[in-house]
A and B are shown apart, each in its own frame.
Chain A
Amino acid sequence: MAVVEVEQVTRVYQEKGMPPAHALRGVSLQIEQGEFMALAGPSGSGKTTLLNLIGGLDAATSGEVRVGGQALSGLSRKELADLRRDRIGFVFQSYNLVPVLTAAENAGYVLELQGVGSAERRARVKAVFDRIGLAQFLDARPLKMSGGQQQRVAVARAIVSAPAVVLADEPTANLDQATGAALMDLMRELNKERGITFIFSTHDPMVLSRADRVVRLVDGEIVTAPS
């Protein structure tokens, strides 16, 4: 069953006085529940744009994106926010933790948005932190943690609410090879344990080698046939 459906999606950026920039040109793609897949391609190929469209962070110029069967094009900003909160997790290249929150508060942020009480929130975050080896960092501030630890907190934040899909935009780009590999292994394990669909954008061969499927983009078009 497809958890994400992308149908003939085009994204054109138009800025005043500039020629239109086609970030995506008629992209179609289906991603099944539980997939561990990568979007590959050089810089400017449209990987991040495609992830943003799947995550409802941006709006397609034409075409349609569906997440869990829900078409995103007709949703209001509030409805898109609720969809992201309940069904999509994000991992960013540069971790993007909120520096004034502790690691546990960062990880539990989405749960708080969902209205989960503080005790349950803490318990669920702790369970995930135990699982990913961050048990002793619950109350640490992000700036006191290493890049790898921060990225693991970001992964915890993405999965703690059990979303259908986790979108990870070059998650290992700021990590050294060993830390990046460990992070990928961790995500792979979570993918298998929990059945969460992971979609990465990357050009890191180590990440690509761990993916079940790789979709290559060049100049906003898919160059390998999506399966």
Chain B
Amino acid sequence: MSGPLSLGWRNIWRNRRRTLISMSAIGVGLLLVIFYSGMVGGMIGEAKNQLDDAGMGHVEVFASGYRLRREVGRTMPDVRAQLHLPPGAQVGTRVLARGLATSARGNEPVQVFGVEWAEEAQLSAHLRKLTSGALPAAGDDRGVLIGEPLAERLALKVGSKVRLMVQRADNEMGADLFRVRGVYHSIAPAIGQRQVYVSAASARALIGIEGAAAHQVVVQLEDPAQADAVAGGLRAALGDRVEVLTWAELLPVLKRMEALTDNVVFAMAFFVYLLVGLGVLNTMLMSVLERTREFGVLMALGTRPSRIIQVVLAESFWIATLSVVLGSVLGSLLTWQFSRTGLRVNPAESLQLGGMIISTLVKTRFNPLDILEATAFVYAMALVVGLYPASRITRLQPAEALRRT
């Protein structure tokens, strides 16, 4: 068999060392791109997961005007019956107020979250990570959950009394005495220091609002990519009396960061492939041009220019294939390994958003699509790189090619 693919395969082994060096260069470049892309994707994914765990929704619904001034009197009625959400979505209603927590030690500014315990525990991972105590039982209107930093500052522990004072809807001050039922741990110091949780009924009583009124409805989706579509549906269903926002609108910095890292990965991949491509181009040019006479013979025997191009591209194809096998297997193994074990980073160097440490353990994202994209890029590069030497050869008259040594 001396078809282009067969001939290309045999040709690449004429200079075994050169082929292995080219292959290694492309393979290592591919490995780097796959791993780096997995690492950055993992960091962003981790950031999103941590925000999910901190109780942030992919879509959040607020009483109209509440976000602007945080006036507790701006509430919305119970809209949950009107929410048509995809399967697997978690929903929670919150009554919100700002105030002071006071103990015998002193007082600290806090944000009071009035919640339904069971649903909030689904939304906020730190409520599932209590370092002491337990979630208050349903109907427990005196129970409060606080974070470790607040407990430390106010010298509180499970069973301690704490007084919560907030501004009421009628602009008077409202206060009540609660008992600490549990202390939670959050990886975000700001959350542990500020957020205290009481039952929704207690919060309503504290700020003087009635019925099922609330300030915020939080929706967490199984697939965050559905956020825009779900938000659009909610806006249409709920109208102007509420404000519907996606996570990208609530935390534009994260969205921008995601876009930025995508660009960084693209730029990094571009330059890696550019450098690798130039190296391979040099190799291919040497390999092809030193065989100019042989290509002249093939042309003399009646080989059409298109077939000469096929033979050269077949060499690029085989080098790309071997490199892709090498690079994608090693890159996948490395990415897969770190997607399981993670890569520990110094907290001082880790990603922070609003004072919240997003992650100290970066787990790479193992996404077959990333690998497919990188692989397709290598093949495209190999074909482009192969076209130039092929065109150099086919531009020659056969007699001219035969004169070359």
Contact = CB atoms under 8 A, between A and B. Distances in A.
A89 B302 CA distance: 9
Contact of B298 (A58, A86, A98, A108): A98
B185 interface: no
A16 to B, nearest CB: 15
A59 B301 contact: no
B17 interface: no
A84 B303 CA distance: 9
A77 B402 contact: no
A96 interface: yes
B210 to A, nearest CB: 87
Contacts of A96: 293-294, 297
Nearest to A83: B302
Interface stretch (A110-118, A186-194, A197-205, A218-226): A110-118
Looking at chain A's contact residues, is the secondary structure mostly helix, strand, loop, or mixed?
helix
B399 A58 contact: yes
A92 B297 contact: yes
A112 B2 contact: yes
B2 A84 contact: no
B297 A81 contact: no
Contacts of A90: 297, 300-301
Given A78-B305, A113-B302, A101 B2 contact: yes
A133 B329 CA distance: 50
Contact of A113 (B293, B294, B303, B397): B303
Nearest to B293: A96
Interface of B: 1-3, 7, 10-11, 13-14, 293-294, 297-307, 397-400, 402
Given A77-B305, A105-B1, A98 B297 contact: yes
Contacts of A100: 7, 10-11, 13-14
A180 interface: no
B303 to A, nearest CB: 6
Nearest to A49: B399
17 contacts: A52-B398, A52-B399, A57-B398, A81-B305, A82-B302, A84-B301, A96-B293, A98-B7, A99-B14, A100-B13, A101-B2, A101-B7, A108-B2, A109-B301, A110-B301, A113-B301, A113-B302
Nearest to A102: B2
Interface string A67-111: 000000000011001111110101010001011110001001110
Contacts of B307: 113
B397 A81 contact: no
A109 B305 CA distance: 15
A99 B15 CA distance: 12
Nearest 8 A-B pairs (CB), nearest first?
A85-B302, A100-B10, A58-B399, A57-B399, A57-B398, A52-B399, A84-B302, A96-B297
A83 to B, nearest CB: 8
Contact of B398 (A58, A101, A108, A113): A58
Interface string A43-56: 00000010010011
A96 B297 CA distance: 7
Given A100-B10, A100-B11, A57 B402 contact: yes
A216 interface: no
Contacts of A84: 300-302
Contacts of A98: 2, 7, 294, 297-298
Contacts of A157: 301
Nearest to A53: B399
Contacts of A101: 2, 7, 10
B301 to A, nearest CB: 5
Q: Could you say which of A83, A96, A101 has the most chain B C-beta atoms within 10 Å of its C-beta? A: A96
Contacts of A81: 299, 302-305
